Structure 1
């Protein structure tokens, strides 16, 4: 009993501090959103700010756009991430691939990734300049406008570059713990690699796939909003 409780007791001080910081931030943000800011002399609680935002047409359009981009990006990230995870599972050199996938997205913060994509994909960016220098484009303005476009293609590409490796790592960790005896039985019964993936690996990996999708969709939606 003491062994089971001891880890939680040791973690309790840090957990209390972290929870206190998180809770205080949420409470302060909620109070300020209701108009309670004593530091500038506003103490009246009201919902008029919420009503003003919800009735703002431009805000609603922006919200719908953000949720749509988040949904599309999350679906693509999960699909490609699952494929990458399975390829690492069957690849003999998966250790080096794992290290590369871990390092690339982690060392680049989201804001830096956005700045890099802006400088690469904008019509005056690096990629149009290279294509223009190679003679593929007659003018840099012929490069498709991937930044500030109405479909959010540049945003989607940035998000995918950042999040696909993370999805792959989460799903790979789950796939690597699946009992290999199940695959051996399927092989003995004549199942192909694709059949083993669709009928064994994928169904057993659904918990990690769904949790990854929910987490990244919610986090990206909040980030966009």
Structure 2
């Protein structure tokens, strides 16, 4: 019995080895190297001064806050659009297949091109401004503004298709019998959606939030092109420090962004685990 158990454990280890090995080599290795580099001076002496600079220097502290802002704000806007869009895609209507293909087009456009599109369309004196000018209207400052509206617009345009795909799959995985049961018990369409469908789709929704948050928080091209000259997000400051040859500082800034991403990932796992426990209790 014990020999069979050992054999099963050995087989399980062999099955997991390719995936775990890939993560260790291509994720854990660079992360460990960056961590070691962020804790050293040029002579190899241990130091925390690179992290101290991030949390004490006004420029870097504002950059960290801006990175978090550029991560959170687009996700909120994208989520507000993606959920209704996912519900629309579930419906049968004329031109559904064409629409289902067109809304995914932003996924194929590089971020730098999206930033240039925002400049052409939303800059003062740009395309939209010239179109509405004969009506006595003009656009507010949307590009390189202090609230990062241009960054949010560009990021949302890129995020919505990706987020919608994940959320659509999450809703599609809910059995129709559950919806019909809720309606037959007297729940309205709105109550069925809010209290039945959304909780069941929550793992997919939180996964979409997680992935888009991490991507937008670490984005470089869009904030660099259409973002405000000050404050600059940490990702843009990292490139500036890299060009100055301050590699240890770059490692520390990357580790801080990674820690925020890992914290969000752990929160996602905690939330989905709680949802699973609550669902199991409900089934009992």
Q: Does 1:183 align with 2:168?
A: no
Mapped to 2, the partners of 1:181 and 1:83 lie a distance apart of 22
Partner secondary structure for residue 103 of structure 2: helix
Q: State the TM-score, normalized to the length of structure 1.
A: 0.79
Q: Does 1:198 align with 2:194?
A: yes
Measured after TM superposition, the shift of residue 191 of structure 1 is: 4.0
Equivalent in the alignment of 2:250: none
The equivalences for 1:5-154 within 5 A come to 12-13=17-18, 16-17=21-22, 19-35=24-40, 42-92=43-93, 94-102=96-104, 104-132=105-133, 135-137=134-136, 142-154=138-150
Q: State the TM-score, normalized to the length of structure 2.
A: 0.64
Cα offsets for 1:87-116 (capped at 9, x unmatched): 1112345443332222x1221122221222
Mapped to 2, the partners of 1:95 and 1:115 lie a distance apart of 29
Measured after TM superposition, the shift of residue 54 of structure 1 is: 1.7
Over aligned residues, Cα RMSD in angstroms? 3.0
In the alignment, is the contact (CA less than 8 A) between 1:98 and 1:169 conserved in 2? no
Mapped to 2, the partners of 1:108 and 1:170 lie a distance apart of 19
Cα offsets for 1:162-220 (capped at 9, x unmatched): 11121111011011111101222234345443233223222211121122223322332
Larger deviation, residues 85-94 vs 48-57: 85-94
Any unmatched runs of 5+ in structure 2?
1-9, 220-232, 235-284
Larger deviation, residues 7-16 vs 149-158: 7-16
Any unmatched runs of 5+ in structure 1?
none
Alignment length, in residue pairs?
213
Equivalent in the alignment of 2:282: none
